[in-house]
Each structure stands twice: as C-alpha cells, then as structure tokens.
Amino acid sequence: MKEIGEGSFSIVHRAVNRMTGQVCAVKCCKISAALEEEERLLRTLSHPNVVSLEGVYERNKDLHYVVMDYLKDGDLCDLLIERQRLPEPETRRIIRQVVEGLAYLHRRCVLHRDIKPENILIHGNIVKIADFGLAKELAQPTSMLKRSCGTLEYAAPELLCGRPYGLKSDVFSLGIVMYVLLFGAFPFSVESAAALQCMDHFPEGVDVRDMSCLSRSNVQWRT
C-alpha cells in the first residue's frame, strides 16, 4: 500500500485488490462511535456522485480498514491549488455532478454538514462527494439540528450563529464552493458570525457580470 493522504484521525493508502486487480483507497483509522456511524451510513448509500464503501475490516479491536473508491485525480482543493480558478464550463460540469449527489443525499434525509473542495473527489470527468464523518441522517426533510460543526468558511449563517439548521445549509456550502471555483477566492472574509450576517453585497473589485453563470435563466445550466 502507498500512503496518499492523512487526516486528523486517519491515514489513507492507495491499494490493489489482489483478487480483482482493482485499485482502491484504504482508510486506516481508530474505531470510534463516530466512525461506526459513518460506516453504517455509507453502507446505505449508492449513487454515481457519492463515494462508495467497498468494505470494512478489523485489524484488531482498535483499528479499522475502510475500503472505498479510489479517485486518482485527488480533490477539488488540489485542483484549485494547481490552477487557481476554473472556467465556467468546467465549473458547471463539476457542480452539476455535486448537485446530483447532494440531491440524492437530501432525498434520503442525509445532511452532509461539510461540503467543501477537500471533500469533493475527482476521477477523470467523474466527481464524487466524500467524507461523511460529520454527516447526519435526519428523521424527515424538515428536521433541524443545533450543534455547530463543519468548516467555517463554507458554513451557512444560521449554523455559525448557533441557530437551527437543516438540509439547506449544504446548499449554501455548495454555493460557496462554486464561487471559489469561479473566482479563486472566498466571496467574503468570515471574521465572525455577525460579520457574515451583515454582508449584503459583493466585495469591492468583483465583477458581478462574471456571475451570469449562476443565473437560473442561463441556458447552459439546463439539462
């Protein structure tokens, strides 16, 4: 196995199934209640734009090997570091697939809670949502949560301010991702939840004409 990534609680390796020759990603992590919940949730999911769980193996009582899709081109954060920003057609192709995956999750009442470039993986022209460590399965589509979590720069205002939030918070996060892909920067600087609440205009220097690609009337978005 070859190490390809490391997080706060896990190490990810690239591996090959000796029986099938298929390349896969193996996440080595310590067993916890949160990990077991993530594994349980992933077992119930199946969509082309959501990372697949191939299997879970116990090395001992304290360590799990979680086998998942291997997406050879890394994540959107890697792509942004390399290219700074993306053209509209490429952004549209990527976001459309994330929307498909997110719509599937929301139909199943699954709130991801950490939509950001690092959690959107790429394999050629295929894009998949990954990392369900903070995901929560809701009782119904209108259910709301209160505990704040996720990544500050991509979090919805209601989440940052400690108010109840639901499935729409994922949509807000995806909007920030789309902006970052197009402009190579965040739409605002989040120094506090209050600052985010007060923001009602684009930062000075941003050409809002470039935002035409976000309009619902733009025929390029129609399928």
φ and ψ at 26, to 5 degrees?
A: -120, 115
Element (H, E) at 38: helix 33-43
Closest CA to 47 of 100, 96, 94: 100
User: Of these residues, 69, 75, 114, 170, which one is catalytic?
Assistant: 114
Pairing outcome for strands 110-111 and 63-69: unpaired
Q: Is 114 a catalytic residue?
A: yes
Counting every residue, how long is the chain?
223
* 27 annotated among ligand-binding-site residues: yes
Strands (DSSP E) contained in 52-135 are 53-58, 63-69, 110-111, 120-123, 126-129
Q: For residues 117 and 176, what is the distance between their CA atoms, to the nearest angstrom?
A: 10
Q: Is the dihedral of CA 186, 192, 193, 199 positive or negative?
A: negative
Q: For residues 154 and 133, what is the distance between their CA atoms, to the nearest angstrom?
A: 16
List the binding residues. 27
List the binding residues for ATP. 27
Report the catalytic residues.
Answer: 114
